[in-house]
Amino acid sequence: MKKPLLSLVVPFYNEEESIEQFFPRVGSALRSIESVDYEIVCINDGSKDATLLKLFEVARSDPKVHVVDLSRNFGKEAALTAGLNEALGDIVVPFDADLQDPPEVIAELVAKWQEGYDVVVAKRIDRASDTFLKRSSAAAFYRLHNKLSDVKIPENVGDFRLITREVVEALKLMPESRRFMKGLFAWVGYRTATVTYTRESRVAGKTKFSAWKLWNFALEGLTSFGTLPLRVWLYLGLAVAMLSLVYAGILVARTLILGIDVPGYASLITAILFLGGIQLIGIGIIGEYIGRIYVESKQRPIYLIRQKFRSSTPDKLDA
């Protein structure tokens, strides 16, 4: 009988330093899983270094490696979407090129899938390789997101997971261009199991996520799967209005009992700045949602493919 095909989907962005270590280790881990055949779908997300050339070199010598070159840098979420669309496997595993997620864990994901699960998530139980700031900010994000969002994201679970073809087809039904893949993975549901592992350090290169990018990524997640951030400002406005009525009553009573005193500038400017700040924050939250509506209304494609390289056409690039 023909073995099920496992598609490993890997976005690459300026990862030329890690490629030499990536393919030997990942290939060894995948070959050790005797119950499946495999392909490695590499998405070059507009790299500015020699990443694309090195991927082509690997693909020419290994027919299991397929390269998809995007027309520019669209971001990891778009690159991951492109990989899911290009993958041909019965099961698909999104994976990072930095090898912080050990490829040896893939065998455990496959074993759980063979028990009948549609989704097998890989949960990090030890993130000592990450900086304290990254660990603490990630923990805060998961807690805040799960309190505000209608869709709960498992804590310390990234994109690294196994999903079946049925789940992949369900993800393809979601047309939004501003994509938060962790949320989309959680939204589709299906029978889910968990495998734990220890996160490792990067094998080479530097992370592509700056503090600013992580902050914007967190905002994307918080506004993608719920409207509670909008409703919060309704309740906050009601609370401030009630407090102002109470304070007005206190002023009237004090005036009737003690007479009129000279109003203070400090208290007045503090109140104005406080209420002005609340209004601006509320407008900013509303603007974030309006911005998402604006982007989605354009209906632009999530990504554009410049060329492909598959083993079926080893001597040329498919435009």
Q: What is the pLDDT of residue 63?
A: 87
Dihedral angle computed from the Cα positions of residues 162, 134, 141 and 219, in that order, rounded to the nearest 10 degrees: -90
Q: What is the pLDDT of residue 121?
A: 86
Amino acid identity at 128:
A
| Model pTM above 0.85 | no
Residue 201: DSSP 8-state: -
Question: What confidence tens digit (pLDDT) does each residue in 103-145 have?
Answer: 888 888 898 888 888 888 888 886 665 666 566 666 666 666 6
Q: What is the pLDDT of residue 314?
A: 47
Tokens of 236: 């906050």
Low-confidence ranges of the chain (pLDDT < 50): 265, 314-319
Angstrom distance (rounded) from CA 204 to CA 191 = 35
Question: What confidence tens digit (pLDDT) does each residue in 11-43 have?
Answer: 988 888 888 888 888 888 888 888 888 889 999
Q: What is the pLDDT of residue 203?
A: 55
Q: What is the pLDDT of residue 315?
A: 44
Q: What is the pLDDT of residue 317?
A: 47
Length of the chain: 319
- Provide the edge-to-edge strand list for the sheet that holds 305-309: 192-198, 119-126, 157-164, 91-94, 5-12, 37-44, 65-70, 305-309
Q: Which CATH number fits domain 5-210+301-309: 3.90.550.10, 2.60.40.150, 2.170.120.30, 3.40.605.10?
A: 3.90.550.10
Q: What is the pLDDT of residue 316?
A: 46
Sequence-separated (6 or more) residues with CB below 8 Å from residue 193: 112, 115, 117, 119, 120, 121
- Which sign, positive or negative, has the C-alpha torsion 225, 213, 169, 154? negative
Q: What is the pLDDT of residue 147?
A: 66
Amino acid identity at 132:
F
**Every domain of the chain and the residues it spans:** 5-210+301-309, 228-298
Summary mean pLDDT of the chain: 76
Hey, how many other C-beta atoms are within 10 angstroms of the C-beta on 83? 23
Pairing type for strands 5-12 and 91-94 reads parallel
Q: What is the pLDDT of residue 258?
A: 65
Q: What is the pLDDT of residue 259?
A: 61
